[in-house]
Amino acid sequence: MELFSYCVNGLVKRKTLVLDLDETLIHSHHDGVQRQTVRPGTPPDFVLRVTIDQHPIRFFVHKRPHVDFFLECVSQWYDLVVFTASMEIYGAAVADNLDRNRGILNRRYFRQHCTLELGCYTKDLSIVNEDLSSVFILDNSPGAYRYNPDNAIPIKSWFADPSDTALLNLLPMLDALRFVSDVRSILSRNLHLHSLW
């Protein structure tokens, strides 16, 4: 057993898991939204107060079920990176609240790091890690990973369902994926899933 663990640790380097925020790990709405997707009366997990273009705005943020446990697990297996198409002032505040001073979400990319193409903010994973064999993204928007579909795990958009278990359901695969030499050898088989949502 010691020899096996040495071989695994010696040959397979630690990989990078890139995490989207909105509708993947959290859902938020802000002051003045006419139609809220969250059931009225459901308290937010936290409230952000940010100023955008000199206008103070409150965002009411709801965490996807099991997100804290999910982050606790995957942070032991991967280097975690936040990559969101949101504005930095908002995305950084969300990431701070999810991190809770644990230092697991220190690397962050925001809207200014995306490419605006066909009305969609696209995330180029090569700016996160040049070695595309060891980086992949968890995102609810196929347009976001248009450049790197072989490096993506699609997840259904989350808005309000308190019984959602999507993050828990991913843990067995993520546990196994850290031991493959090239994530694309596995994730390229999932391409048919990317258009379901």
pLDDT (tens digit per residue) in 83-94: 999 999 999 999
* Beta carbons within 10 angstroms of residue 140's beta carbon: 18
The mean per-residue pLDDT over the stretch 131-156 comes to: 96
**Longest Cα–Cα distance in the chain:** 60
Q: Which two tokens stand for residue 18?
A: 């890139």
User: In DSSP terms, which residues pair with 121 in a beta bridge?
Assistant: 116
Handedness of CA 135, 168, 88, 102 (dihedral sign): negative
- Burial (0-12, 13-18, 19+ Cβ within 10 Å), 53: exposed
Q: Which of 23, 14, 8 is nearest to 139 (CA)?
A: 23
Q: Please state, in angstroms and rounded to a whole number, the distance separating the CA atoms of residues 112 and 175.
A: 31
68 is a catalytic site residue: no
Residues 27-82: tens digit of each pLDDT: 999 877 656 677 767 899 999 999 988 989 999 999 999 999 999 999 999 999 99
User: Mind giving me the DSSP string for 24-92?
Assistant: TTEEEEETT-SS-SSPTTPPPSEEEEEEETTEEEEEEEEEPTTHHHHHHHHHHHSEEEEE-SS-HHHHH
Catalytic-role residue among 20, 53, 96, 161: 20
pLDDT above 90 covers a percentage of the chain that reads: 77
Q: What is the mean pLDDT of residues 106-127?
A: 95
Q: Which of 22, 68, 131, 182 is catalytic?
A: 22
Any long-range contacts for 114-121 (C-beta under 8 Å, 24+ apart)? 114/85, 114/144, 115/147, 117/146, 118/143, 120/144, 120/146, 121/85
pLDDT (average), residues 10-37: 86
- Catalytic residue status for 22: yes
